[in-house]
A = this chain, B = another copy of it.
């Protein structure tokens, strides 16, 4: 992976529908914002607030739920990633 997100941004890789099924999570929510499952592939150093850097709460390898409409898509070496702010990640899936 050659993308280093800045501040409190995270790079994630969307999980395929199959894998989503395996972990037993089906995402619903037609009337609401639909979440998406993904794996964290890169984590920024954390935002700097009042001169102090805040630790990030997710780490590389975490499987996360995030809002489908959050972030920006990029394609690196033929694979698609999404760069988003940590606050757009809803939860870690274990």
- Residue ranges of A at the interface with B (Cβ–Cβ < 8 Å): 2-7, 9, 11, 23-29, 32-35, 42, 44-45, 48-52, 54-55, 57-58, 65, 67, 69, 71-78, 80, 83, 86-87, 89-94
B91-A32 in contact (CB<8A):
no
B6-A93 in contact (CB<8A):
no
Q: Tell me the number of copies of this protein.
A: 7
Known contacts A2-B23, A54-B48, A57-B6, A90 near B72 by CB under 8 Å? yes
B90-A24 in contact (CB<8A):
no
B75-A25 in contact (CB<8A):
yes
CB contacts (< 8 Å) of A51 on chain B: these are 49-50, 52, 54
Taking the nearest CB of chain B, how far is it from the CB of A80, in angstroms?
7
In the bound complex, how far is the Cα of B92 from the Cα of A86, in angstroms? Answer: 17
